[in-house]
Structure 1
Amino acid sequence: MHIDPWTSDSIKDYSELKKEFGIEELPEISEEIPNSHLMFKREIVFGHRDFDKVIDAIKKGDEFSAMSGFVPSGEPHLGHKMVMDQLIWLQALGGTVFVSVADMEAFAARNIPRDKAKKIGRDYLLSLIALGLKEKGSYFYNQSEEKDLEDLAFELSNNINMAELNSIYGFEGNVSLAQMYSTAIQSADILYPQTEKFGGPKPVVVPAGTDQDPHMRLVRDVSNRVRLFKVEKNDSKMIIRSKEANKDQLIEFKDILSNSGDCSVFEEHIEIEEYRDEEEIRKKTREFELDQGGYGFIQPSSTYHRFMSGLTGGKMSSSVEESYISLLDDPEEAEEKVMNAKTGGRSTLSKQKEEGGQPEKCSVYELFFYHLLEDEDEVEEIYDNCVQGERLCGTCKQEAADYLKSFLEEHKSKREEAKEELDKYM
């Protein structure tokens, strides 16, 4: 299976995806966190990498961040709203939200001039504010205007090689150097919340579609490579291996760890017998690393949501305007798209009543399931009535269109209000 952030926008088998790329099953979030988001309850978010770290921080009231970048190549649409909704939810749970307008990636991968990308990017940011993201606990930026980010990307790129990029992204000979370098910028985006500028290491989660997983695999590897120490454990001891530190630094660190267990210093590592508190040892390692000029990064986490189907059938495509609902659509235009959408209905009215519809193949039902209805009983009733032949496609289309028109009218009004606030978020 091949996935990449620039050409993948549909997945046929999510089970195979998880198996091949090592994406973990999602824990029962609703049992772990109060006010679980409906995307988790309905398993629209289906997998994760290390999200347990963020859950733990939420439960303890510890600091954590959520981060996402938007490549401004077209209008923000309901697919982007899935990420925005998660960012707003995570902020409400105590997280600081970082949002990058990926103008450098837009230029490198899609040849969109950076000034144009920044202008398009404002539409994404305005929609995010209109949907409910608060100024307090938010940090918006354009990639090309963040000098500290570019410095971090340059340092990270020293730990990335061509063979790795080819393996992860499937790059071929015609890929530009700029597009290759944009992968380091993406890694810097994800690690940026953990830099000294924003208070140092902390759990960070990136809500994403599965097409973004290559970025996550790269940044998780790179975040380890730039560490000064590697912490390992087995049943009887913890081992702190030096990646850059010298013997004198190891001896100095051993003294700091003296209360953590019986420590022994070797040429390139420290062993701690019968360690007492693993979390405390990892914390002390990061703190010492920061004192020595390192980063002490915690491997970033991610969650993955399913792709929505296109309204015209098959995949949703930014190049086919009728296949998606833009957050900038005129409400009447959105209604027309929904009324013309492909459904899971049968070919004739009599067959629909006799055999029932197929909501699992219906783009209109997905609108209810992903975005329009929060009430579980209402969603279940639509599903059951459809498969029993008691609900016709025209009814669903009109109801979905009415919900969307109301949402877009309100969203348009809130976007106008957000224009007065945007600069405060940057």
Structure 2
Amino acid sequence: MEREIVFGHRDFNLILNAIKNNQPYAAMSGFVPTGQPHLGHKMVMDQLIWHQQQGAQIYAAIADMEALAARNLPLKQSKKSGKNYLLSLIALGLNPENTQLYYQSQQQQVRNLAFEASNKMNYGELKSIYGFNNQTTLAHMYAAPIQSADILYPQTPSQGGPKPVIVPAGTDQDPHLRLVRDISKRMRLFSIEKTNNHYKIRSRHATQKQINQLKQKLQKHGKTKTYTEHIEIKTNNPKIPEIVRQHEIQNKGYGFYPPSSTYHRFMTGLKGGKMSSSVKDSYIALTDKPQKAADKIMKAKTGGQENLKQQKKEGGEPENCAIYELLYFHLIQNNKHIKEIYNNCKQGQRLCGQCKKETAEHMKQFLKTHQEKRKQAKKTLKKHLN
């Protein structure tokens, strides 16, 4: 966040309030196990770990059902490759206590919730969001409610009930997160609208008895009127939404908060473009041998000029350099140091060959330490994996 790698959000104020007031909240992400965990995944893992340090309960799902439906990866293969992601998550610093690590296919509560969520979706909106067509399989379509259930699961009764939930994501995930926010509202018994100095509370699925009981509770907090389609209460009391939520819970409703999200920049691939596990040598895997990673770095695209003379005269372009991104995103923690590297590059004092060598050494040391911690994490993962 300091470096604006995380640059945008939806409803992050809910998370800030939870952190500041020491209230329960959760952070959730899923990993599709189609390759090896790489530095792009590490960006999400780092954020989950940070949220845990702020007091969040962590949920990390291996999206094996999505991998089967969307990429035809067998569940057995996902079970094996999925552990690689969770091992790195623990090795990077996640405490598996007070954490849910699970496979979608093996978490029955998530699957049940996905079926409920699917009852609030239709083909038209899935087609517009995901581009589904007549050749799209039912399983591929069903990945949308499964992903939605992953995000809503931390708020279910077995997980302590409604609480703010944050999902770190890339901007390409925003349409999906907007869908989940809508689904969280559609699964409520009541909707709440604040206008000027009054609230409108509308029934979504509540019975007349539940509506009448809610009205009685609200009368204690302001002048209340009942209309054909809604209850209206004249008040600015900020506790009204929580009163409605608690009434829902007492009547076996979910009372979901719409999930929050933050958005981070994509890493540039070592060959240019987006870092992707489907493009060979564009990424560094957290399981790469340190020397192999160093070799990739030495062959990577930089923001340097065409020749040494021009580099010294005009300076480099660190903002367009995959090597500088490795340092900026992952390898240099000291803000003063990273600023010096940037300025020296811009002024032509830092040459690409030297920068690559230093970055390769940083990466080799990081991977060596990380992979040692991965070995230590194996027993821990076996104990905590659901």
Superposition TM-score tier, normalisation by shorter sequence: over 0.9
Which residue of 2 is the match for residue 24 of structure 1? none
Structure 2 letter corresponding to 1:224 = K
Q: What TM-score does the superposition give when structure 2 sets the normalisation length?
A: 0.98
Structure 2 unmatched runs, 5+: none
Match of 1:190 among 127, 151, 163: 151
Which residue of 1 is the match for residue 370 of structure 2? 411
The offset of 1:157, in angstroms, is 0.3
1:147 aligns with 2:123: no
8 Å CA contact retained: 1:91, 1:137: no
Structure 1 letter corresponding to 2:67 = A
Match of 2:347 among 388, 394, 406: 388
The offset of 1:235, in angstroms, is 1.1
Which residue of 2 is the match for residue 368 of structure 1? 327
Which residue of 2 is the match for residue 399 of structure 1? 358
8 Å CA contact retained: 1:153, 1:187: yes
Identity score, percent = 55
Deviations 1:183-206 (A, max 9, x none): 000000000000001010000000
The SS at the match of 1:419 is helix
Which residue of 2 is the match for residue 119 of structure 1? 80
How many residues are aligned here? Answer: 385
Q: Return the alpha-carbon distance in structure 1 between the equivalents of residues 3 and 163 of structure 2.
A: 28
Deviations 1:262-307 (A, max 9, x none): 22223332111134x22x2111111111122211100000000010
4+ residue segments displaced more than 3 Å: none
Match of 2:13 among 45, 52, 63: 52
Aligned 1:87-106 pairs, distance under 5 A? 87-106=48-67
Q: Return the alpha-carbon distance in structure 2 between the equivalents of residues 201 and 248 of structure 1.
A: 23
8 Å CA contact retained: 1:205, 1:303: yes
Which residue of 1 is the match for residue 273 of structure 2? 314
Q: Return the alpha-carbon distance in structure 2 between the equivalents of residues 290 and 314 of structure 1.
A: 47
Structure 2 letter corresponding to 1:422 = L
Q: Return the alpha-carbon distance in structure 1 between the equivalents of residues 274 and 200 of structure 2.
A: 48
Q: Return the alpha-carbon distance in structure 1 between the equivalents of residues 382 and 124 of structure 2.
A: 41
Q: Return the alpha-carbon distance in structure 1 between the equivalents of residues 97 and 292 of structure 2.
A: 35
8 Å CA contact retained: 1:247, 1:267: no
The offset of 1:62, in angstroms, is 0.5
Structure 1 letter corresponding to 2:352 = C
Deviations 1:334-356 (A, max 9, x none): 11001111101111111111111
Q: What TM-score does the superposition give when structure 1 sets the normalisation length?
A: 0.89
The offset of 1:210, in angstroms, is 1.4
Which residue of 2 is the match for residue 287 of structure 1? 246
Q: Return the alpha-carbon distance in structure 2 between the equivalents of residues 90 and 317 of structure 1.
A: 25
1:297 aligns with 2:256: yes
1:421 aligns with 2:374: no
Structure 2 letter corresponding to 1:311 = L
Which residue of 1 is the match for residue 223 of structure 2? 262
Deviations 1:68-124 (A, max 9, x none): 000000000000000000000000000000000000000001000011011111000
The offset of 1:314, in angstroms, is 2.0
The offset of 1:237, in angstroms, is 1.1
Which residue of 2 is the match for residue 338 of structure 1? 297
The SS at the match of 1:421 is helix
Which residue of 2 is the match for residue 175 of structure 1? 136
Which residue of 1 is the match for residue 94 of structure 2? 133
Q: Return the alpha-carbon distance in structure 2 between the equivalents of residues 267 and 194 of structure 1.
A: 31
Structure 1 letter corresponding to 2:65 = M
Q: Return the alpha-carbon distance in structure 2 between the equivalents of residues 311 and 250 of structure 1.
A: 58
Deviations 1:349-386 (A, max 9, x none): 11111111111111000001110111111111111111
The offset of 1:173, in angstroms, is 2.6
Q: Return the alpha-carbon distance in structure 1 between the equivalents of residues 382 and 173 of structure 2.
A: 28
Match of 2:124 among 157, 163, 177: 163
1:359 aligns with 2:313: no
Match of 1:78 among 39, 48, 57: 39
Q: Return the alpha-carbon distance in structure 1 between the equivalents of residues 197 and 139 of structure 2.
A: 47
The SS at the match of 1:257 is helix
Aligned 1:263-278 pairs, distance under 5 A? 263-275=224-236, 277-278=237-238
Structure 2 letter corresponding to 1:380 = K
Q: Return the alpha-carbon distance in structure 2 between the equivalents of residues 238 and 314 of structure 1.
A: 48
CA RMSD of aligned residues (A): 1.0
Structure 1 letter corresponding to 2:142 = Y
Deviations 1:2-32 (A, max 9, x none): xxxxxxxxxxxxxxxxxxxxxxxxxxxxxxx
The offset of 1:152, in angstroms, is 0.5
Q: Return the alpha-carbon distance in structure 2 between the equivalents of residues 92 and 274 of structure 1.
A: 37
